Structure 1
Amino acid sequence: MPQNQAIAFDALPGTITAYLAAHRDADIAAQLGLFAADAAVVDEGHTHTGTTAIAAWMNRSAGAYTYTITPIAAEQSGEGDYTVTQHLAGDFPGGVVDLRFRFTLRAGLIRRLVIEP
């Protein structure tokens, strides 16, 4: 597959669409169930490895700001590698931002998630 090929949202793996829905709904338990035990999340320059650290990151992040999330683009860059760009609007500094959620899947679970502008 060519690098960064645009795909339809309905072509995303179920794990990713389930994560996006759980993230939008702030359902931490549902989000955590989609991660491999040794998964890593990179957000704001910090890496959170393992579901315990990821849960702590989610709990800290969940109440920090109020915002809406709108998916605006999806791409596949390789086997198990997907990027979903989401538009966030809310009460955080700046008020709006487009963030890329770069997923690496393994055996149907999220192995790595990198969130960056």
Structure 2
Amino acid sequence: METITFDQLPATIRAFNAAHEARDADAALALMTPAAVITDEGNTYSGEDVLRRFIAEAGTEFTYTDDVTGAARDGEVWVVGHHLEGNFPGGTADLSYRFALDGDRIARLDIG
């Protein structure tokens, strides 16, 4: 895996990160392919309505901070590290957002 800076990530991923943080589902969905899939906590989400709900609502029951901790490229997969702290069970979490692109749009996002 090659470590890179956040600015070296494709513009699509940087824009998705901003849209996801703002819970702007329309902006996030515009960056994804029609067949895009998101996996998170063992669940798989696909389809425009389901993805819209996931982006807008995931984690809203908690208050937390989300700091980007790094970026990398693993072959054709782009990885963004996130550190969360808040009032969710355990209080802290370090997650990797693994993006697969199809052209300049997100085809898959695995959160774990």
The verdict on a shared fold, with TM-score over 0.5 as the criterion, is yes
Partner of 2:99: 103
User: Aligned partners of 2:102 and 2:50: how far apart in 1?
Assistant: 19
Following the alignment from structure 1 to structure 2, what is the Cα–Cα distance between the partners of residues 21 and 10? 13
1:93 to 84, 89, 95: 89
Q: Is the 8 A contact 1:89 1:95 kept in 2?
A: yes
Tell me how far 1:63 sits from its aligned partner. Answer: 2.2
Moved more, 27-36 or 100-109: 27-36
Name the structure 1 match of 2:108: 112
Q: Which residue of 2 aligns with 1:64?
A: 61
- Which sections of structure 2, spanning at least 5 residues, go unmatched? none
CA contact (8 A) 2:23 2:56 kept: no
Note the alpha carbon deviations across 1:25-64, whole angstroms, 9 max, x for none. Answer: 2222211111110000000101112222211222331522
Q: Please tell me whether the aligned partners of residues 35 and 51 of structure 1 are also in contact (alpha carbons under 8 angstroms).
A: no
Moved over 3 A (4+): none
Looking at structure 2, the residues matched to 68 and 28 of structure 1 have their Cα atoms a distance apart, in angstroms, of: 19
Pick aligned residue for 2:73 from 63, 70, 76: 76
1:51 alignment counterpart: 48
Cα 1:38/1:29, change in 2 over 3 Å:
same
**TM-score, scaled relative to structure 1:** 0.88
5+ residue gaps, structure 1: none
Alignment coverage as a number of residue pairs: 112
Structure 1 residue identity aligned to 2:17: L
User: SS state of the match for residue 92, structure 1?
Assistant: coil
Shift of 1:73: 1.2
Identity level (%): 39
Cα RMSD over matched residues?
Answer: 1.3
